[in-house]
Amino acid sequence: MLYTPENWGSVPESWTRTHLLGLEDLSSEEIVLLLDLAERFRNNVLESPENKRKIPLLVGKTIANLFFENSTRTRTSFGLAGRRLGADVVDFSAGTSSMAKGETVVDTARNLHAMGVDAFVVRHSCPGAPQMIAQSFDNIAVVNAGDGAHEHPTQGLLDLLTMRRQFGRIEGLTVALVGDIAHSRVARSNIFALLKLGAKPIVCGPSTLVSPYWEDLGVRVSYSIDEILPEVDVFNLLRIQFERQVVRPFPSIREYAHLYAMDSDRLARCKNDVLILAPGPINRGVEITPEVADGSRSHILDQVTNGVAVRMAALWSTITAAERKARK
């Protein structure tokens, strides 16, 4: 079936959020709604030759990618998502902009809005930067593409979508987030959503990177990956973020890999249907060995594909909500 805006349908009226700033504030129903929209985009657009990988739901809209941090997957994924929906996409580079002359983030956004931009996708090293931009506009969509160590909501959603497509559910799954929990916005978004949807998250890594205070939120804490191998359904292997660390939290990369890397020996002690995820970029030989990253239990590239579908859902829902709000 060839889909058009007329026969595709509309964003459910229950979705009223003009911004997607984090998963902590979303209800379980809102998270499931976004996952359902993303599933539909994945099945009926991205995997459909008939639709030529496009559906013109946002024709006439302009999306600006405001990336103040380096990015490959997220920036490209949002760009593709916007274009798959028929929107015009503007890629902003902080290094070659007037910000180098002292212009603020908000003034930059205001100037772009004056040119007719309908939505901002914001990545920034400062937690709260997307929220600051969102508070400056009444009827414009803002999507957080990662703000410091705070949240990365679309990465959390694409991880959830990958789990749900594999197991058919989220509720009841035991999901281990292994690595640099202290600096990981991906871990935070995953944990907030997993708890809301009835999963059992575990954070695992060196004590210098895994705070015991996660237990106060109902998250299990483990300092040994070997102890949890037989019970985990999903391992999400997080990169060690040296760029965010003031001091090195362990003696050497070699020691970290010895204690926490997912290798073939550890994989053999996991469940037969264990799902291996990693948000990327992956460091082969550090958090994961090449034979596991490229093996049959790895769904890392599937995550990337799901990321386009999730970002299509995020852009369509928030821009539609902003448009509805402006009409009132």
Cβ neighbours for 70, distance < 8 A, ≥ 6 positions apart: none
Given the residues 40, 53, 73, 244, the one annotated as active site: 73
- Judged on CB neighbours under 10 Å (0-12, 13-18, 19+), 96 is exposed
Cβ neighbours for 23, distance < 8 A, ≥ 6 positions apart: 31, 151, 153, 156, 157, 189, 192, 193, 196
Cβ neighbours for 220, distance < 8 A, ≥ 6 positions apart: 200, 201, 202, 203
In 10 A of CB 16, how many CB atoms? 13
User: Is 52 among the residues known to form the active site?
Assistant: no
Given the residues 72, 96, 101, 327, the one annotated as active site: 101
Amino acid in position 194: L
Given the residues 19, 42, 113, 123, the one annotated as active site: 123
φ/ψ (deg, to 5) at 66: -95, 95
**The tokens of 214 are what?**
């996660």
Whether residue 244 contacts residue 149, with contact meaning beta carbons closer than 8 Å, is answered with: yes
User: Is 152 among the residues known to form the active site?
Assistant: yes
How would you classify the pairing of strands 88-93 and 62-67?
parallel
User: Is 73 among the residues known to form the active site?
Assistant: yes
Given the residues 19, 42, 61, 74, the one annotated as active site: 74
Given the residues 19, 84, 124, 152, the one annotated as active site: 152
β-strand partners of 214: none
User: Is 284 among the residues known to form the active site?
Assistant: no
3-state class (DSSP) for residue 294 = coil
φ/ψ (deg, to 5) at 192: -60, -45
User: Is 53 among the residues known to form the active site?
Assistant: no
Which residues are annotated as catalytic? 73-74, 101, 123, 152
